[in-house]
Amino acid sequence: MVHGWRNLTFVHWRVEAAAVQRLLPPGLEVETFDGTAWVGLVPFEMEVTLPGSPLVPWLSRFPETNVRTYVRAADGTTGVWFLSLEAARLGAVVVARAGYRLPYFWSSMDVRTLGNVVTYDSHRRWPGPRGSRARVVVETAEPFAADDLDDLDHWLTARWRLYSTSSVGLRAALAEHPPWPLHRARLLHLDEDLVRAAGLPAPEGDPLLHWSPGVGVQISLPRRVRVPR
């Protein structure tokens, strides 16, 4: 599939590695930075098409919010493990759950931009208990200069692979895109329980923020991860 991930905010917190590891399937190990794992709450606006197909405004554009962490597979590759994904289109939720075996949820969602302030709202509808929510309000600012970004900034955002599980075991799909154009951002408001709904403790402390106008992405078909003998 061809995606556009637009108007995206990374909200990251440190979390105990053991709390993440217990949520992972066999074949994945939590990846840490400076001794701790990280969990990200990532709201954005999605554009999705098939190669060579035009965008259909209502069907192809919708808000999405995911809760993610970072993992290493038994074959030595690294990437993203999604603990949950909220999307505003039921059809997209059904396709992603069936085709990619990703934990998508249908949610009532909205993204509003006023000047340099972006507001993301999400309320879960289906499946599972209704009502898990996220409201994130950020003020975007100037781009980071290349020298301003450190190893942690790249480690959190420069990810090119996602994992899922199916009846045949662990699978991975590639997410190919140019480097993120990252901007500074300030958190104005946060009210969310999606991290806790995913099975992790409620985040503590001030999060690390990055905002991006977005990138175009090509998502490969998922392939089985072969475990070396």
Residue ranges covered by each domain of the chain: 2-224
Cα-based distances in Å from 218 to 4, 5, 28, 71, 224: 9, 11, 24, 21, 18
The model's pTM: 0.94
Give pLDDT, residue 96. Answer: 82
Give pLDDT, residue 229. Answer: 64
Of 178, 161, 182, residue with least CA distance to 170: 161
Identify whether the C-beta of residue 126 lies closer than 8 Å to the C-beta of residue 105. yes
Task: Tell me how many degrees the CA angle 140-142-148 measures, rounded to the nearest 5.
Answer: 115
Give pLDDT, residue 98. Answer: 86
Q: What are phi and psi of 16, to 5 degrees?
A: -60, 135
Of 135, 152, 120, 139, residue with least CA distance to 183: 139
Q: What are phi and psi of 93, to 5 degrees?
A: -65, -45
Distance of CA 100 to the CA centre of its chain: 15
Mean pLDDT for back-to-back runs of 10 residues, the chain (229 residues): 93 98 96 97 90 58 96 96 95 84 95 98 90 96 96 97 91 95 98 96 96 96 83
Identify whether the C-beta of residue 160 lies closer than 8 Å to the C-beta of residue 79. yes
Cα-based distances in Å from 190 to 82, 120, 133, 202, 217: 20, 10, 11, 12, 28
Fold of domain 2-224: Acetoacetate decarboxylase-like (2.40.400)
Identify whether the C-beta of residue 41 lies closer than 8 Å to the C-beta of residue 67. yes
Cross-strand bridge partners of residue 205: none
